[in-house]
Structure 1
Amino acid sequence: MNEIIRSQYHGHISQLRRIINSWNLIPGSPSDEFDTLANKLLSHLYKAADLMTIRNIIESDLVTIYGLYTHEINAESFANV
């Protein structure tokens, strides 16, 4: 991976991290708590995934990996950010 692509990737991950952390899903969690989700989302965004796919990834990961309940999150709203 050349340096320009690497720099762009890190910039995009940083932006996604800020967005996801602004949701305050787990108060007091480390800033890198949701990096797995950020990386998965970025991968799908680079592949031009549609809004429904992004919503499903957000909801699925927040429920299965992070233990949140579907009624605690608004994946549709999050996907629209």
Structure 2
Amino acid sequence: MDSDYMNMLINDRKNRVWQLEKLIISMNISSEMHKSFCTFLAEKVLQQLEKGADSKKIQGIIKSELCVGYGLYMHEFNSEKITNDIMNWRKNN
């Protein structure tokens, strides 16, 4: 594999993370959510999507990361809507 091809793959993945991060930010899940957490969540979700994870798995990750990782309560966000938005994004990209 040549370096141009590797750079193209790296740039493509960075772009997908950035697009997913923008989507997560646009959801305004929490007004105090740090951009770095959105980047982390985008990376984690994209990694699972690349492995073929279904919406149930993605929803579990979202619940876990927003509750355990970020400290939100379940009633503070709609994990089903977030998951649906992410799965629709994936389908269209």
What's the TM-score, normalizing by structure 1?
0.90
Instruction: Tell me if structure 2 keeps the 8 A contact 1:17–1:32.
Output: no
Relative to its length, the structure with more helix (as a share) is: 2
Match among 60, 67, 70 for residue 63 of structure 1: 67
Aligned length: 81
Unmatched segments (≥5 aa) in structure 1:
none
Q: Does 1:74 align with 2:73?
A: no
In structure 2, the residue matched to 1:36 is 40
Specify the structure having the higher radius of gyration (Cα): 2
Cα distance, 1:71 vs structure 2:
0.7
What's the TM-score, normalizing by structure 2?
0.79
Unmatched segments (≥5 aa) in structure 2:
86-93
Q: Letter of the 1:34 partner, please give it.
A: C
In structure 2, the residue matched to 1:46 is 50
Range that drifts further, 64-73 or 22-31: 22-31
Measure the CA separation in 1 of the matches of 2:61 and 2:32: 23
Q: What's the Cα RMSD here? A: 1.5
1:72–1:64 distance in 2 versus 1, CA, 3 Å: same
Cα distance, 1:4 vs structure 2:
1.1
